[in-house]
Chains A and B, each alone.
Chain A
Amino acid sequence: MQTQGPTVISVPARELANVAVPGSVFEIGILRGSTISPELRVAIELIAAIDSNHSVSSSVRCIARPEIFTHGASLDWLMTQIEGVTDHIALSDGTALKLIPGLRNHLFTYGLQSHRRFIDFKKLTRRAPELLGQFHSQINSFHRVSIDGLAFEPAPWLLNRHEFSVSEPVWFHDLYLNPHSLENSAELMLGWGTLDTPSFEAFSKIRYVPLTDCAARDEQFQHIVAELIATTYFEPGVCLLMRLPLATSDLTERMRLALGGIRGAHRSIPQTRANNVFFTSGDLGDDVLSELAPRLSLLLHHSFDHWRHPKSVYEASEEIAVFLDRQWTRVSDAAKKLLTEAFGQSPQFILSARSLDVDGFPE
């Protein structure tokens, strides 16, 4: 565990829109009892679990807008509100990286499954690399920056769940892609209704690809996904499950997003209703994944929050592949170590052919 003493957290300001914040510093229970994004909820539950297991403080507190206490009297005031605190975990969705002078700062990026926020994060770390370089550590990630030609990477550490979560109802939709009309495709898929759960016994191999908004818009990743789809159509003993991006609650919109990405790969896919390729409406439950694990082949995009599932699910899986944005010529040792620890096995790494270009400058 990387925090040394009492810890505070901060969250992106947009997450506080529906939180009745009593003041700049407040108990984490107020966040937990409010409407926040599911991704943030998962992240703060992980942090709160550290606290209860390791008793670093009686209660983790949250600072609403740490960036406004810049220096002098305002920073002194903040420090008196959080007297005794040594560590700050900055939960970031990619739009800002918040450091509190005088504390050990740790970064936890949780919102990068949004393509927009992933771009924002890349821009920010490119435009102000010294920000990332000042974090003492990073949770569940392995971001790196280049400062004056030298690579800096806050020490990654793993924070994941140990227990199973109860699975939420998940609906399955047979895949159909009409490349000329995503609306027609979605309409037909929805019109066919949903399956509660396919009968997995017939399959010797189950491929699972949880899509994110970022993954659906990642042209290079979608080439791989489209190839998998096309191949699976002709492999009756294999099943492919793709979780729809969680970008919105509108199911049709989610299907259009996923289909748009697949279509954009320009890979020819049989224009017929699949019986072994499915969209799922949500995460497969830990219990379902564990049951499928010996036959399970996972393909994870770098934007997928791998801590959504406990280690036991991953380590029982047959194989895991992780698709990474090519920011560097090779995967760092820290990245390999973190993900091996998270999965209980060494994943295969697939690097994108080129890094996503932001600001029009080559990486």
Chain B
Amino acid sequence: MSDATQNSGLPKLTIDIGPLFEDQWTGIPVFTRRLVQALLRDGSLDLEFAFRMTKIPRESVVGALRCGSGVLLRSEFERGAGKSYPLIDPYATLLFPSVKECFNATRREASTVHDVSTLVMAENHVPENVDHHMRNLARELASDDVVFCVSEASRAALTVAYPSIAQKARLLMQYVDWPAEFETLERNLSPPVLGRYAAVVGTIEPRKNLALLLRALALPEIRDSDIRFVVIGKTGWKVEQFMAGLTPQEREHIVFSGFVTEFMKYRLLRHAEFLVYPSIYEGFGIPALEAMSLGKPVLCAMTSSLPEVVGDAGIYFDPLSASEFAAAFAEISDAGRLAELSSKARVGSNAFGWARMAKPVVDWVKGIA
């Protein structure tokens, strides 16, 4: 009998949970968490977990999922307990939720490509980062049975550079899962009195393109609007420099929240009119989905993965045109348009769920696709 099924009778999948070893989970660790939880919920696979080709006890992973941090996971592993963990089965079906650290460790492997910006826009990265991602990419793709891409945009960009992998590139799209208690917490808080504002995801970092918004502050559609901008997240580099170049009136139109907890992000999105997402390139764009899940439409750059995530729940603009941004801002600020898009936002968000994320992995393991 093959090792593909254990006592459970279910096909087995081993997941490398390396990303979960981070202390604080953002980006790829959160993607990994959602993937693991989706597959646990699906229940049609016998899941095992691994890190660097050693098995990690299921209860350790479940514990990490519960507290949302890899501190205990990493601590236990490094404490020397890892020495007593068995090696993974070389015949296992092995999934990497991010890049691979090794190749051909098992007979059947898949990795996940989140972002090909180090390939298509290397100038936005330090050379070490480009080398880190690109050095082994061709080998990684060659050794994969399938390649999961987190968006159609990532898949399209990857297959332009590597047409030979087109047949084995699959989509693996994540979803939003606010903690259940957030809605209850929010209901029991006094609503903020902040005036009308749009939440903004972005930094001065060129790819995130906040500079476009800052340039547009001088345009009449923005300047004369009663809608301010609240930029959510760490202030980041060069913000003060940019702010110093604004007039006092322009500066009043934009506020930086600084680092906030997940619940605060929820609150800020919940009370916003809409989300502004000016990024020139994204691998997926989870902030857009987060806003949509709360009924907020997105004022969105017409690039990369954003149209496929936002769909008809947004107004789009050329990410390099301040005037187009201003015109789109005027359109989305209209109350009637906002209401129309808000209803589409929730519907659009509901199209992404745990079942949709689990399916391509399950199909692959079962040999369906």
Contacts and interface: CB of A to CB of B under 8 A. Distances in A.
B155 to A, nearest CB: 8
Given A70-B157, A71-B152, A74-B303, A22 B321 contact: yes
B161 interface: yes
A70 B304 contact: yes
A128 B161 contact: yes
B138 interface: yes
A23 interface: yes
Most buried by A among B161, B308, B316, B319: B161
Interface stretch (B72-80, B97-105, B114-122, B263-271): B114-122
A235 interface: no
A70 B121 contact: no
Contacts of B304: 68-70, 74
A99 B156 CA distance: 12
B153 A70 contact: yes
B307 A73 contact: yes
A330 interface: no
Contacts of B306: 74
Contacts of A69: 302-304
Given A127-B137, A359-B135, A96 B319 contact: no
Nearest to B133: A127
A261 B303 CA distance: 44
Chain A contact surface mostly = loop
B240 interface: no
A64 B163 contact: no
Contact of A130 (B127, B131, B135, B163): B163
B121 A96 contact: yes
A67 B121 contact: yes
B156 A68 contact: no
Interface string A57-85: 00000001101111111100100000000
A219 B162 CA distance: 33
Interface residues of B, number: 39
B123 A23 contact: no
Interface in B200-216: 206
Contacts of A74: 153, 302-304, 306-307
Interface string A9-47: 000111000000111100000000000000000000000
Interface in B48-90: none
B252 interface: no
Nearest to B215: A20
A130 B161 contact: yes
22 contacts: A13-B206, A23-B318, A23-B321, A23-B323, A24-B319, A24-B320, A24-B321, A65-B121, A67-B157, A68-B121, A69-B303, A70-B153, A70-B303, A72-B152, A73-B308, A74-B302, A96-B122, A101-B156, A116-B127, A123-B134, A134-B163, A359-B135
Interface of B: 119-124, 127, 130-131, 134-135, 137-138, 152-153, 156-157, 160-164, 206, 280-281, 302-308, 316, 318-321, 323-324
**Which 5 A/B pairs are nearest by Cβ-Cβ distance?**
A71-B156, A23-B321, A73-B307, A67-B120, A68-B303
Interface of A: 12-14, 21-24, 64-65, 67-74, 77, 95-96, 98-99, 101, 116, 120, 123-124, 127-128, 130-131, 134, 359
Given A24-B321, A65-B280, A124-B122, 17 more contacts: A13-B121, A65-B281, A65-B303, A65-B320, A68-B121, A68-B304, A70-B153, A71-B157, A73-B302, A73-B316, A74-B302, A74-B306, A77-B302, A98-B120, A123-B134, A127-B138, A128-B137
